[in-house]
Amino acid sequence: MIAATGLDLVKNASSFSAGQSGALAVGFAAAFIVAMLSIKFLLAYVRTRTFIAFGVYRIIAAALFFMLVG
């Protein structure tokens, strides 16, 4: 993903203005920070809890989906 994004940025560098580059950098930094915090939270959550609630939720969601579609 990094290589594809880098290639796209290099190919389209002339279409970016200074303000857009700044917004892109801020967006990248914000996305990175949120992703790291999300991973940290989810790993801590998984260490202290089981996946039973998630499994029940998925079974109910699948049953509802098949009842609506079928």
Instruction: Report the alpha-carbon distance of residue 33 to residue 27 in Å, rounded.
Output: 10
Residue 22 is which amino acid? G
Q: How far apart are CA 68 and CA 23, in angstroms?
A: 42
What distances in angstroms separate CA 7 from CA 2, 16, 17, one per listed residue? 8, 14, 17
Q: What is the pLDDT of residues 19-66, one digit of tens each?
A: 777 888 898 899 999 999 999 999 998 899 988 989 999 999 999 999
Query: What ranges do the domains of the chain cover?
Result: 2-69
Helices (H), the chain: 2-11, 18-48, 52-69
The per-residue pLDDT for 18 is 67
